[in-house]
Amino acid sequence: MKQPNIVEIYGREQQAKVGSYVIPDGWNVGDVLLKGDEPVDASYQGSQFRVLTRQPVIPSLPVNVELTGRTLQRRGGLLMIRCQIEFVKDGEPSEFVSGWMQAA
């Protein structure tokens, strides 16, 4: 399982962690990161975090978050940093999207 990366911006370390708010590009709403999964077999590598889907059939999805931004940007009154969100699949290639994470 990947470890979250740490980025220093304006003297403060930024890191994705449980409780961080993320919003993928193209989504109307984001959500906070929940505790991830441990690997269970060779086909599933585990995940750093999970995000809620608000769907009854699949309530949450496993994700990894990597910070890619080097500056903070104000979006909707919040300080945000760019990130890449990996939707981890079980035995299939992961899907990657860009997004935003609220700065600490």
Where do the structural domains in the chain lie, given as residue ranges? 6-102
Q: Which of 45, 43, 46, 47 is closest to 91 using CA atoms?
A: 43
pLDDT (tens digit per residue) in 76-86:
889 999 999 99
Q: Is the dihedral of CA 89, 38, 2, 14 positive or negative?
A: positive
pLDDT (tens digit per residue) in 43-60:
778 899 999 988 899 999
Question: In this model, does residue 35 exceed pLDDT 90?
Answer: yes
- Residue 100 — pLDDT band, cuts 50, 70, 90? very high
Name the token pair of 52: 């809620």
Q: Dihedral, CA atoms, 53, 29, 97, 44, nearest 10 degrees?
A: -20
Question: Which one-letter amino acid corresponds to residue 82?
Answer: R
Question: Which one-letter amino acid corresponds to residue 81?
Answer: I
**Number of CB atoms found within 10 A of residue 23's CB:** 21
What pTM did the predictor assign?
A: 0.89
